[in-house]
Amino acid sequence: MSPTITGVEVIDVRFPTSEKLDGSDAMNPDPDYSAAYVVLRTDAPGGLEGHGLCFTIGRGNDVVAATIRSLRPYVEGRTVSSVTGDLGSLYRELTHDSQLRWLGPEKGVVHMAAGALVNATWDLAAKEAGKPVWELLASMTPEEIADLVDYRYLTDALTRDEAVEILRAAEPGRAERTARLREQGYPAYTTSPGWLGYSDDKLVGLAKEAVAAGFTQIKLKVGGSLDDDIRRMRLAREAVGPDVRIAVDANQRWDVDTAIAWMTALAPHEPYWIEEPTSPDDILAHAAIRAGQPVKVATGEHVANRVVFKQLLQAEAVDFVQIDAARVAGVNENIAILLLAAKFGVPVCPHAGGVGLCELVQHLSMFDYVAVSGSWDGRAIEYVDHLHEHFTDPVVVENARYRPPSAPGFSAAIRPESVAAHRYPEGPVWRARLGGDQ
Ligand SMILES: [Mg+2]
């Protein structure tokens, strides 16, 4: 008898990051980094559990947690093997509940909630297999991987046959790249110096620290005031020298004309890319910004689903695709996006940071390197040095490279003592801030 998933617990965990302006940018001045944290409990001997999460920046946690709870019937009471043995079907079920799909379709809160559950089931499957998720994925056949994707709305750009072809082309080099990955780690860049709320001194100090730690790319938040951005860009350039890449990130701040004017003004300081210059829904605006100024364009952390990524690629609107492990509907949909990016020859540089996003997304980039694009040239995973201490299997970044995780699962488990302290609103961290007992 296969064990059963006996319960789906959803826990509201929040960290008071707004107090130090960690994570501050032009659109999000005071985020409290939070996770709607999912625990799939089972009756398997040894207490097998699956973990996943939705990342939010505070009060959105209420809404996401409620939505995850509304999807519980798809998972609760099922045998573990019926879920982990067919992760393509469960993903389709979770994203095609017709009454909840009405709220999207396949976008926003319902889609993120589905993603948290999909990712938790991948964690379960990888633990059962005794492998980290990246290795589990990279051990599947091209056909098995291709069957994890929902090709609906994609076939004008990517068919299942083409996906199999891409995956087969990468197959012969898998063992060699796995060995290289274990030896060298996956490239990382850091956003830690660049939060908009940081002083010039803090920016310069952290930029120098990043270079000393081996990073060859940093990122600055922009879009508050042009004069400030020109000054900060100049200070950062002086701090890191001419050879370190400085990406900039406007977090959706601008309209097309403003984006073009602003980036034309910053261009003499050689920004490497402009990230989220405008609305993540606006494919044509990204194409216009890409054509209208000299800096490369990146987006993706708020792109709702595989369909919008498809159009960004078809419209030649982006130079970099930035997947996010917890924005779309989990591992399955991100495989579709990795395959689309490989088809169009556009590098994937994932969004990370937040709570647990580095822990999760590293698995997807490592899988991409081993079994999909087969390359890490021009690619790097974002790294932000916040909140990793709360995870039981935190990321390890050494000399600006992510070490491949070796523990079975998706690296998504939060330490029990951290969960207890940061539960909202009843954990002691929040009781102290909210003023007495709730
Ligand atoms: Mg960003």
pLDDT at 288 over 80: yes
Model pLDDT, residue 248: 98
Model pLDDT, residue 325: 98
| Dist. CA 351 → ligand 1 center (Å) | 7
| Interval 329-341: pLDDT, tens | 999 999 999 999 9
Please compute the mean of the pLDDT values over residues 138-155 and round it to a whole number: 98
| Dist. CA 6 → ligand 1 center (Å) | 37
Check if the beta carbon of residue 36 is closer than 8 Å to that of residue 64.
Answer: yes
Model pLDDT, residue 438: 46
Give the separation between CA 365 and CA 367, rounded to whole angstroms.
5
C-alpha triplet 92, 90, 50: angle, nearest 5°: 135
Domains identified in the chain and CATH numbers? 5-131+418-434 (3.30.390.10), 171-414 (3.20.20.120)
Model pLDDT, residue 1: 77
| Dist. CA 209 → ligand 1 center (Å) | 21
* DSSP string computed for 336-356: HHHHHHHHHT--B-----TTT
Whether 269 is catalytic is: no
User: Pairing mode, if any, of strands 34-42 and 49-56?
Assistant: antiparallel
Could you tell me the two tokens for 44? 């398997």
| Interval 298-326: pLDDT, tens | 999 999 999 999 999 999 999 999 999 99
Indicate the average pLDDT of the chain. Answer: 96
| Dist. CA 275 → ligand 1 center (Å) | 6
Give the separation between CA 373 and CA 367, rounded to whole angstroms.
9
| Dist. CA 294 → ligand 1 center (Å) | 19
Q: Which residues surround ligand 1, an ion (CB under 5 A)?
A: 249, 275
Active-site hit among 111, 221, 363, 422: 221
Whether 20 is catalytic is: no
| Dist. CA 89 → ligand 1 center (Å) | 31
Please compute the mean of the pLDDT values over residues 89-100 and round it to a whole number: 96
Please compute the mean of the pLDDT values over residues 31-58 and round it to a whole number: 96
| Dist. CA 322 → ligand 1 center (Å) | 9
With residue 185 as reference, give the H or E element that holds it: none
pLDDT confidence of 23, banded at 50, 70, 90?
Answer: confident
Please report, as a single letter, which amino acid is at residue 284: L
| Dist. CA 222 → ligand 1 center (Å) | 10
Q: Which of 101-105, 196-200, 266-270, 340-344 has the lowest mean pLDDT?
A: 196-200
Residue 428, CA distances (Å) to 134, 169, 386, 401 in order = 36, 53, 20, 35
| Dist. CA 352 → ligand 1 center (Å) | 8
Backbone angles phi, psi at 328, to 5 degrees: -90, -170
Give the separation between CA 72 and CA 74, rounded to whole angstroms.
5
Please compute the mean of the pLDDT values over residues 55-64 and round it to a whole number: 97
pLDDT at 158 over 50: yes
Model pLDDT, residue 435: 81
Model pLDDT, residue 283: 98
Residues in the chain: 438
Model pLDDT, residue 20: 81
| Interval 393-424: pLDDT, tens | 999 999 999 999 999 999 999 999 999 999 99
Please compute the mean of the pLDDT values over residues 134-159 and round it to a whole number: 98
| Interval 207-263: pLDDT, tens | 999 999 999 999 999 999 999 999 999 999 999 999 999 999 999 999 999 999 999
Exposure letters 218-254 (e unless 16+ CB within 10 A, then b): bbbbbbbeeeebbebbebbbebbeeebbbbbbbbbbb
| Dist. CA 73 → ligand 1 center (Å) | 34
Active-site hit among 351, 386, 390, 422: 351
| Dist. CA 79 → ligand 1 center (Å) | 38
Extended beta strands in 283-394, E state: 296-299, 320-321, 381-383
Model pLDDT, residue 291: 98
| Dist. CA 358 → ligand 1 center (Å) | 13
| Interval 1-20: pLDDT, tens | 789 999 999 999 999 998 88
